Amino acid sequence: MRNSPIGVFDSGVGGLTVVKELTREMPNEDIVYFGDTARVPYGTKSASTIQKFSIQNVLFLLKRNVKLIIIACNTSSAIGLPFLSKYFSIPIIGVIKPGAKAAVRSTRNGRIGVIGTSATVLSGAYDKEIKALNSGIKVYSGSCPLFVPLAEEGWANDGIVDVVARKYLAAFKGRNIDTLIMGCTHYPLLRSSIRRVMGKGVKLIDSAEETAKEARGLLEECGLKSAARRKNRSKFYVSDAPDKFRAVARRFLGRDAQAVERVDDV
Ligand code: DGL
């Protein structure tokens, strides 16, 4: 089992930011990735639909004999993880708890901002995790739906992102937050604009980095770390448009996604 791959799923291409961090943290772990490109975005859908898709994605990865499942999608983690953990015995982790932990560690004044998709913000998942760690912390949340298409379009360094970011983040400016969780797979790509708008005094939290650390800790704890002495092999499955996935993947993964296959059995 310890040399089995880690399974990662996301609504599409964004979860590759988590794969990038996992590869950095554990270079010898094989990864099987599933991107639900036929049904993306999840962030605008209802909780029951997101739950249904999440179950199907877990079942798909279980067929690939994975040893651990990481929900790289913030939306799916926020809405799907609480009940997935009840129904499946395989260890499953999401990106919300690691991000919340990092934010609580980072804040000095006890005021944290959270940005994410509409579904993530509506779920209140980050607020709950933060409050469970420290009930005295004030949490301010807001959704930034246009950030997702802007990141996929490759416009991270275009002035248009600054304009959109100023509009979305204006609500946080008077809140005196010192920490902001980028609670969506795509937002770390827009980090420079978000930093420009929020200023250097606000620490930006990227859930992907923290999730990779949490995954490593969990594998060590369960005695499931790979014993392989070679670089990892990654396999990428998508439910639609593999060519488009390949074209966008580089921006999120920092390298080309080699083996991309379209599947129908989800
Ligand atoms: N992966 C999603 C997330 O992190 C963003 C894209 C979507 O809405 O599906 O919330």
Indicate if ligand 1 lies below 6 Å from the C-beta of 123: no
What sections of the chain are H helices per DSSP? 16-25, 47-62, 74-87, 96-106, 118-123, 125-133, 147-152, 159-173, 191-198, 207-221, 242-253
Q: Is the CB of 204 under 6 A from ligand 1?
A: no
Among 173, 109, 103, 106, residue whose Cα is nearest residue 131: 103
Q: How far is the CA of 196 from the centre of ligand 1 (A)?
A: 23
Describe the crossing of helices 16-25 and 242-253 by its angle, rounded to 10 degrees. 50
pTM given for the model: 0.95
Distance CA 251, CA 122 (A): 28
Helices 125-133 and 74-87, packing angle to 10 deg: 70
144 is catalytic: no
| 124 Cβ contact partners less than 8 Å away, ≥ 6 residues apart | 141
Cβ neighbourhood burial of 223 (10 Å; 0-12, 13-18, 19+): exposed
pLDDT at 34 over 90: yes
Q: Whose CA is nearest to atom 1 of ligand 1?
A: 73
CA distances from 247 to 39, 136, 201, 233 (A): 18, 44, 35, 19
Active site residue 184: yes
Indicate whether 265 pLDDT > 90.
no
Q: Render pLDDT for 96-132 as a digit per residue (tens, 0 to 9).
A: 999 999 999 999 999 999 999 999 999 999 999 999 9
Active-site entry in 58, 72, 73, 93: 73
Q: Mean pLDDT, the chain, as a whole number?
A: 95
Give the whole-number percent of the chain exceeding pLDDT 90. 88
Q: Probe ligand 1: pick from 19, 33, 34, 148, max atoms within 8 Å of CB? A: 148
- Give, for ligand 1, the residue of 8, 16, 17, 42 to mutate: max count of ligand atoms closer than 8 Å to Cβ: 42
With a 6 Å cutoff on the Cβ, whether 41 touches ligand 1 is yes
In the chain, the domains with their CATH numbers are: 6-94+209-262 (3.40.50.1860), 96-207 (3.40.50.1860)
